Homo-oligomer: A and B are copies of this chain.
C-alpha cells in the first residue's frame, strides 16, 4: 500500500494568493490553477481581465507539471525540433503543455501538486507561478 502526500485546499489557497499578489504587482491579470499530485484540479481563479483561452491553458500547465513531475518550460527545451521530446506538445489531446508557467510543488523531494499560470508572457507566467510556490514555503 502507498501513502501519498498531496496539497489540501488550504495549501491551494496559499499558492493562489501568492501568485495573485505577484500578478497584481506586475500588473498582469492572470488565470491561476492548482492541481493535486495526480493532476486533478483543486482550485482555480481567473482574475478580472484574465484571458478566456488561459482558463484551459493554466489548468493544463498545472496538470502537466504535476502529472509529469516536470516544469512545463523544461518540456519546452527538450521538445524543440531535433530534441528528444520533439512532438510531445500535442500529446494527450494537446493537454501536455510545453510553454513556461507550470511548476510542480515539491515537498521533501516529492511532488505533492502543481501550479499553472497563464495570460502574460511565458516568462511572466513562470514568475507568477514561482511566487505562488514561494508563498507556500515562506
Chain B residues, Cβ within 8 Å of A54: 68
Per-residue CB contact flags for chain A residues 70-89 toward chain B (1 = under 8 Å, else 0) read: 00000110011110111111
Chain B residue at minimal CB-CB distance from A56: B92
Per-residue CB contact flags for chain A residues 54-76 toward chain B (1 = under 8 Å, else 0) read: 11110010011011110000011
Per-residue CB contact flags for chain A residues 1-28 toward chain B (1 = under 8 Å, else 0) read: 1111111110110000000000000000
CA distance A39 to B8 in the complex (A): 18
Q: Using C-beta atoms within 8 Å of the partner chain, give the interface range for chain A.
A: 35 or more
Chain B residues, Cβ within 8 Å of A42: 45-46
A-B contact pairs, 18 of them (CB 8 A): A1-B11, A41-B44, A42-B46, A43-B44, A43-B45, A52-B66, A53-B68, A57-B96, A79-B86, A80-B81, A84-B100, A84-B122, A85-B122, A87-B97, A89-B89, A89-B90, A91-B94, A93-B94
Assess whether A115 is interfacial by the CB under 8 Å rule.
no
CA distance A85 to B42 in the complex (A): 24
* Given A1-B11, A6-B1, A8-B1, A46:B41 Cβ within 8 A: yes
Assess whether A47 is interfacial by the CB under 8 Å rule.
yes
> How far is the CB of A136 from the nearest CB of chain B, in Å?
10
